[in-house]
């Protein structure tokens, strides 16, 4: 009788071991398919880019990984505490290790999946996919019409290549955003060509750095009012606006003067203020400047 009981116990033990093995294997495979399945999809370059973007968005931070390990260790710890109070532990070492592994694996991978879903929702996409539409028309233009973006003067962009890690991006993004907002505010009111042209390129430079932060997963809240400064057509309108805004300033000054010489001097100063920036102006903008300058010279002779 004792030998039969021993054989029966051994069979039950073996069946239980196999059952746990199959459960752990199925769980591991399922999590692997969800977490890493996209790396095996698609053979074209576009699909590879999509996979890279998806992995960047779902990847866990160090804190999230540590939190997953802590949650996974809770059940094994509770099991060991309860097991320590038991008196019969002989011959169950293998079974104990398997149970501990099982209790750790399930909550660990559940937390990993939760964090991956959370990261996917909170982190913005860095580029548009072939099967997905972009959120705004502006993003479509950025992807499909790169020639429509304004290219700033590198000397006026400010310091670049500062973003080289996710942690760095999270720290710098708010600073870049604040600098871009301050520059945009100045650009809307300034009547100094030197301030306008240098500040405009600095603003665009900060927006470019914000895009780099976005690719590292940093939260970027740049609005459409800021993003429009990268548009070539918007810059064209902005330059024409500063031409006429400055013209109005010099017009008021000339009309307040009494001598013809002083009036002529201020009419010349208007054109001279724009001369250093003529290489950064289009033919249409130069034509607009020429008309405004001619008007001031005529006004100075009255």
Say which residues have a Cβ less than 8 Å from residue 215's Cβ, sequence separation at least 6.
56, 126
Q: What pLDDT band is residue 181 in, cutting at 50, 70 and 90?
A: very high
For residues 30 and 27, give the distance between their C-alpha atoms in angstroms, rounded to a whole number: 5
pLDDT at 266 over 70: yes
Of 78, 75, 72, 62, give the one whose Cα is nearest residue 110. Answer: 72
pLDDT of residue 273: 96
Determine if the pTM surpasses 0.75.
no
pLDDT of residue 176: 92
pLDDT of residue 66: 87
Q: What pLDDT band is residue 1 in, cutting at 50, 70 and 90?
A: very low
End-to-end CA distance of the chain: 127
pLDDT of residue 42: 44
Tens-place pLDDT, residues 230-241:
999 999 999 999
pLDDT of residue 85: 53
Tens-place pLDDT, residues 93-115:
777 777 778 778 888 888 888 87
Structure letter (DSSP) for residue 138: H
Of 199, 296, 280, give the one whose Cα is nearest residue 248. Answer: 296
CB-CB contact of 214 with 126 (8 Å): yes
Most confident of 38-42, 137-141, 225-229, 244-248: 244-248
From the CB of residue 205, how many other CB atoms can be counted at a distance below 10 Å?
Answer: 22
State the chain's mean pLDDT as an integer. Answer: 77
Three-state secondary structure call for residue 61: coil
pLDDT of residue 257: 92
Of 159, 239, 230, give the one whose Cα is nearest residue 196. Answer: 239
Tens-place pLDDT, residues 36-93:
444 444 444 455 555 666 676 677 788 887 887 888 788 778 777 776 655 444 445 7
CB-CB contact of 205 with 117 (8 Å): no
Phi, psi dihedrals of residue 35, rounded to the nearest 5°: -75, -40
pLDDT of residue 86: 54
pLDDT of residue 280: 95
Of 222, 173, 180, 175, give the one whose Cα is nearest residue 199. Answer: 180
pLDDT at 205 over 90: yes
Of 143, 120, 139, give the one whose Cα is nearest residue 217. Answer: 120
Tens-place pLDDT, residues 8-44:
444 444 454 455 455 545 554 544 454 444 444 444 4
All structural domains of the chain with their residue ranges: 2-122, 149-230, 239-300
pLDDT at 6 over 70: no
Residue 29 burial (C-beta neighbours within 10 Å; 0-12, 13-18, 19+): exposed
Q: pLDDT higher for 91 or 183?
A: 183
């Amino acid at each position: 009788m004792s030998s039969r009981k021993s054989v029966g116990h051994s069979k039950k033990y073996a069946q239980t071991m196999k059952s746990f093995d199959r459960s752990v294997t199925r769980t591991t495979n399922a999590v692997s398919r969800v977490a890493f399945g996209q790396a095996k999809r698609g053979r074209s370059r576009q699909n590879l880019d999509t996979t890279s973007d998806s992995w960047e968005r779902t990847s866990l931070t160090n804190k999230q990984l540590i939190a997953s390990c802590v949650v996974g260790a809770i059940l094994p710890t509770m099991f060991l505490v309860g097991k320590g109070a038991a008196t019969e532990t002989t011959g169950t070492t293998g079974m104990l290790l398997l149970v501990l592994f099982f209790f750790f694996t399930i909550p660990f991978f559940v937390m990993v999946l939760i964090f991956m879903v959370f990261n996917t929702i909170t982190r913005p996409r860095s580029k548009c996919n072939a099967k997905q539409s972009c959120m705004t028309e502006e993003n479509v233009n950025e992807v499909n019409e790169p020639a429509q973006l304004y290219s700033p003067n590198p000397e006026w962009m400010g310091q670049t290549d500062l973003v080289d890690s996710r942690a760095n991006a999270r720290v710098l993004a708010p600073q870049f955003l604040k600098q871009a907002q301050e520059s945009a505010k100045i650009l809307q009111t300034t009547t100094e060509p030197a301030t306008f042209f240098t500040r405009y390129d600095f603003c665009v430079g900060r927006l470019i750095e914000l895009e780099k932060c976005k690719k590292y997963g940093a939260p970027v809240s740049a609005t459409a009012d800021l993003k429009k400064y990268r548009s070539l057509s918007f810059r064209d309108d902005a330059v024409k606006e500063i031409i006429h805004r400055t013209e109005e300033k010099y017009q008021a000054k000339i009309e307040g003067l009494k001598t013809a010489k002083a009036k002529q001097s201020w009419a010349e100063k208007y054109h001279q203020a724009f001369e250093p920036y003529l290489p950064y102006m289009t033919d249409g903008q130069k034509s607009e400047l020429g008309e405004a300058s001619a008007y001031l010279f005529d006004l100075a002779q009255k």
